[in-house]
Structure 1
């Protein structure tokens, strides 16, 4: 029994006229009649009343045909649903959901979007924003997303990642700040400064920075004058002279008007590396497909 025969049968059963059914199904009337006869032969019963089939091609269902019509419609509906599901899944394979965290530098997100658009234009990239980098990792775990821009370390052994930006901290100051002329700054020089900071609930390395400052002999907490939700807004407030801020070394300060970025050094003059900030693209290891692996490779080359 073929699905085509079921479609022909349902068409005749609904029209109760072989000629009209043939037009509706875009098939010749002799071919339609032949397929109905083959179907009846396979089932072993008449589905249409035989006498009426010869009178101007009008017909009616037998009792068996009426029962069979219900099941035939159900089979066709199930087959259509199967096709739709297969198409939907096939389309999803060309759609990748990329999770990003709220304080991620927007320029970095745009870099990834442009990279995908230029190298894999057939893949649709959907950006999904999460409050923190840890929420991105959780979303990977429960398969809400396929790829996630996050910070290392990973919190779940089921995840893997490829780093695409690694750095530490530098200091962002207004251009007219007294320390702006210094080529390099030490933590000791930052005591008593007012600070602009990312909201603690969104911050990626707040505790590490506080510990670093305490070891240098001061605490910033009582000197934080403004908390913001994005690094772009943080840069804007620093430019207005409201306070200074720590930003990742890979943050491009040249695109923020009115600010300068200064490297940090240890008290002995050696390069500062007290707080590591590593951006990475992560994925769930057991769900990674060749296409996703290719995308991870692209991002890790940024």
Structure 2
């Protein structure tokens, strides 16, 4: 259905005069009359009752008019929508994230982006770093918050930006402290207490750098880790600690995950630092992604300095 015919119909319906409607539209009356007749033939019903003295809408025309106005409003808004999509102020952004980011950088990034671009559909997916890298490699998703891995080399495909670096702390069963099973020194957990405790940790495949950081801490302290359970969700790891299965070394931001039966303690001595960053495909020029990356820079610049 020709949009011009619809505009002609609305003009005649609002003026109820073919001459005045033609003047409003900047055309002569004969082609306007032809346009209305063509529209009526297409619809199979008359839109106007015409006499020598007056023009009025038929019941069908009166009922159809608000629907035509609504459709034309939508057409009129298409150029504005296109401009907003072109500038990344509308559209969609697919963001994946590791579970540890949920307690550190993710809330700030989501809040900042929502404030700046409320009309963008922000799709969030929780996934391990390896799953995110695999998905992005296949062209699924746009940007991921990951724990980087030194043994995964993807030159020319991905770009990476460091977001935060934070120390590891120990999550321990609270009753192990109250019952004297674990001793603390000045409120910190000494290395020998860590070495003598069973460990709950991410599997290496899911987070190689995190896993190696934890195991490296045991090696640096002169011991080996006794892994009793692995889990790919941080919430699950903390639940297992709460159940008394073992201790876990987690990012300091996990203090925000309050769980009955769990106490968070700083580690004594030299403490490993865990880095979290964002990764995206270099060939992705989507405007919403560009706006997100610009916003990330602002968030990092405004973050409190360690």
Taking structure 1 as the reference length, the TM-score comes to 0.60
User: Counterpart of 1:133?
Assistant: 129
The answer to whether residue 93 in structure 2 is matched with residue 97 in structure 1 is: yes
Q: Decide whether the 8 Å contact of 1:161 with 1:282 is kept in 2.
A: yes
Q: How far is the alpha carbon of 1:297 from its aligned partner? A: 1.8
Q: How far is the alpha carbon of 1:112 from its aligned partner? A: 2.9
User: Counterpart of 2:201?
Assistant: 197
User: Counterpart of 2:17?
Assistant: 28
User: Counterpart of 2:172?
Assistant: 173
**How large is the RMSD of aligned CA atoms in angstroms?**
4.5
- Unmatched tracts of structure 1, length 5 or more: 12-19, 42-46, 49-54, 58-75, 266-270
The answer to whether residue 145 in structure 2 is matched with residue 149 in structure 1 is: yes
Pairs aligned (count): 251
The answer to whether residue 228 in structure 2 is matched with residue 225 in structure 1 is: yes
Give the Cα separation in 2 of the matches to 1:139 and 1:299: 26
Give the Cα separation in 2 of the matches to 1:150 and 1:36: 66
Structure index of larger Rg: 1
Q: How far is the alpha carbon of 1:87 from its aligned partner? A: 7.1
Q: How far is the alpha carbon of 1:279 from its aligned partner? A: 0.9
Q: Decide whether the 8 Å contact of 1:140 with 1:146 is kept in 2.
A: yes
User: Counterpart of 1:160?
Assistant: 159
User: Counterpart of 1:69?
Assistant: none
Give the Cα separation in 2 of the matches to 1:284 and 1:111: 22
Q: How far is the alpha carbon of 1:201 from its aligned partner? A: 4.7
CA change 1:5–1:228 in 2 (3 A) is closer
Structure 1 residues 40-189: aligned runs within 5 Å: 83=78, 86=82, 89=85, 93-95=89-91, 97-108=93-104, 109-117=106-114, 119-120=115-116, 122=118, 124=120, 126-140=122-136, 144-153=140-149, 155-156=153-154, 157-175=156-174, 176-177=176-177, 178-183=181-186, 184-185=188-189, 187=191, 189=193
CA change 1:172–1:100 in 2 (3 A) is same
Give the Cα separation in 2 of the matches to 1:8 and 1:26: 12
Residue by residue over 1:254-299, the C-alpha shift from the partner in whole angstroms, topping out at 9 and shown as x without a partner, is 834431323143xxxxx243xx521123444452756334311233
Give the Cα separation in 2 of the matches to 1:261 and 1:253: 13
Give the secondary-structure state (helix, strand or coil) at the position aligned to 2:99. Answer: coil
Give the Cα separation in 2 of the matches to 1:131 and 1:254: 18
Give the Cα separation in 2 of the matches to 1:96 and 1:239: 39
Q: How far is the alpha carbon of 1:122 from its aligned partner? A: 3.2
CA change 1:91–1:26 in 2 (3 A) is farther
Give the Cα separation in 2 of the matches to 1:180 and 1:253: 23
Q: Decide whether the 8 Å contact of 1:159 with 1:283 is kept in 2.
A: yes
- Unmatched tracts of structure 2, length 5 or more: 40-49, 53-70
User: Counterpart of 2:266?
Assistant: 262
Give the Cα separation in 2 of the matches to 1:82 and 1:253: 44
Q: Decide whether the 8 Å contact of 2:130 with 2:205 is kept in 1.
A: no
Q: Decide whether the 8 Å contact of 1:96 with 1:145 is kept in 2.
A: no
Taking structure 2 as the reference length, the TM-score comes to 0.60
Residue by residue over 1:51-98, the C-alpha shift from the partner in whole angstroms, topping out at 9 and shown as x without a partner, is xxxx969xxxxxxxxxxxxxxxxxx9xx96994883783596335525
